[in-house]
Amino acid sequence: MQRRKFLQNISLVSAAAVLPDLASAEPGKKKKHFTIAFISDIHIKALDVAEAGMKRALQNINQLTQQPDFIINGGDCVMDALAADKEKTKTQWDLFNKIMGAENKLPVKNCIGNHDIWGWQLKEDVKSDPLYGKAWWLQQTGYARTYYSFTHNNWHFIVLDSVQENNGGYIALLDNEQFSWLENELNSNTEKNISIISHIPIISFCSAMFAKDMMPNGDWKLSRALLHTDAKKIKDLFKKHPNIKSCLSGHIHLQDEVNYLGIKYYCNGAISGNWWGGPFQDFAPAYALFDFYNDGSVERKMIEY
Ligand SMILES: [Zn+2]
């Protein structure tokens, strides 16, 4: 064999040896790790349409061919505990627990919502009641604190508490203690992909679309209760951690998907839609299914149940 021909053969052989690897490396590059269901803003109350709707949403999840590994409940389980008396709050939680107990088959991770907090807007003074404020939700969920984290398949989930008391209402932000905890969580989990859960969106366009009207001078109307007021501070922290891949929220009852500085922010509609009166603006009652991939990407599918 001539030297030239020999070299050609060698290169053909090595190309053939390399090609199958390349071919198998391509599809192997992005691999689905697991799926979760994100349900939010159920706002259960003693009303046929609400009870039937919550059941139907959970039954819809049970019927999925590929079962999610777990459910994240994005908060606002009950219609409202902020301004409800003790008896009415208990009735709502009992109903929530009854339907979850009967219909849900999956593990649930809970995120606190504003309407899950008892008594902040109640005229009667219940501050000395051991269930006042966030204590009722803590008793419900069995958690020691309103924010926490957990790891699932090399993904670290950080669940935040967006809701802080503010002049008889609430404001969306992380208090200093929680912010320091978050910094520490991010510093201690640099090897894992990170997904952040908050009831109120940190970054979202939905929050601006919520109000029907603009301000008289044409400015957008954007309540401190609809978007994290410390979004810029959180964004600066997130910039130091490129392993943060996604942030999932509820609260607005609308849906969007915002890609900002390499992080996907998803606002995930509501199980209750327009608080059980059908669709809210352009969005029917729905929950989200999230696929988490080994390359750090996340894909969402909204399910109108
Ligand atoms: Zn809410």
pLDDT along the chain (305 residues), means of 10: 47 43 55 96 97 98 97 98 97 98 98 98 96 98 98 96 95 98 98 97 97 95 97 98 98 98 98 96 98 95 98
Distance from the CA of 114 to the center of ligand 1, in angstroms? 5
- Cα 112 to middle of ligand 1, angstroms: 9
Helices in 109-175 by DSSP H: which ranges? 135-141
Measure 30 CA to ligand 1 centroid, in angstroms.
34
- 270 CA to middle of ligand 1, Å? 10
How far is the centre of ligand 1, averaged over its atoms, from the C-alpha of 33 (Å)? 30
pLDDT of residue 9: 46
In angstroms, what is the span from residue 252 Cα to ligand 1's centroid? 7
In angstroms, the CA 248 to CA 231 distance is 14
Question: Residue 8: what pLDDT?
Answer: 47
Quote the crossing angle between the two packed helices 86-103 and 48-62, to the nearest 10°.
30
Phi, psi of 50 (to 5 degrees): -70, -45
Q: What's residue 268's pLDDT?
A: 98
Distances (CA, A) of 121 to 124, 163, 169, 249: 9, 14, 7, 23
pLDDT of residue 84: 97
- Structural domain boundaries of the chain? 1-30, 33-303
Q: What is the pLDDT of residue 27?
A: 57
Per-residue pLDDT at 28: 61
d(CA 165, CA 259): 30
**Alpha-carbon distance values, 31 to 25, 91, 109, 242, 293 (Å):** 11, 44, 24, 20, 5
How many angstroms separate the alpha carbon of residue 294 from the centre of ligand 1?
31
CATH of 33-303, one of 3.40.50.720, 3.60.21.10, 3.30.230.10, 3.30.950.10: 3.60.21.10
Q: Tell how far the Cα of 2 is from the centroid of ligand 1, in angstroms.
A: 77
**Residue 52 to residues 46, 58, 180, 247: CA-CA distances in angstroms?**
10, 10, 42, 30
According to the model, what pLDDT value does residue 250 have?
A: 98
Q: Which residues surround ligand 1, an ion (CB under 5 A)?
A: 76, 113-114, 251
CA of 206 to the centre of ligand 1 (A): 13
β-sheet bridge partners, residue 166: 169
State how beta strands 193-198 and 244-249 pair: parallel
pLDDT score of 11 = 45
The first and second tokens of residue 108, run together, are 């649930």
Global pTM reads: 0.90
Q: What is the pLDDT of residue 95?
A: 98
